[in-house]
């Protein structure tokens, strides 16, 4: 799949398109069955992930903070 199309799908799903862009994007999907199939699959995956809850272990968070401080990024 074209990376521009993938990016457009993500922008649409995250409501990052203007009304005009959304209109053109939906028209594109309606006229491109393979892209519509990919979009539906992406949307279903996104919806299934939204119900998943994550709680990272404290040790994992500490590793991320330590790594961030190596590059001079403040995590406070």
Mean pLDDT in consecutive groups of 10 residues from the start of the chain, 76 residues? 88 95 96 95 89 84 84 54
pLDDT for res 51: 75
3-state class (DSSP) for residue 4: helix
pLDDT for res 2: 83
pLDDT for res 4: 86
Give the start-to-end residue ranges of the domains of the chain.
3-70
**What is the DSSP code string of 5-72?**
HHHHHHHHHTT-S-HHHHHHHHHHHHT-HHHHHHHHHHHHHHHHHHT------HHHHHHHHHHHHHTT
pLDDT for res 74: 53
pLDDT for res 12: 96
């Amino acid at each position: 799949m074209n990376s521009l199309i993938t990016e457009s799908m993500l922008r649409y799903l995250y409501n990052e398109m203007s009304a005009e862009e959304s209109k053109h994007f939906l028209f594109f999907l309606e006229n491109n069955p393979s892209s519509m199939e990919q979009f539906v699959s992406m949307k279903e995956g996104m919806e299934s992930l939204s119900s998943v809850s994550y709680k990272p272990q404290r040790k994992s968070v500490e590793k991320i903070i330590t790594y961030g401080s190596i590059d001079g990024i403040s995590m406070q």
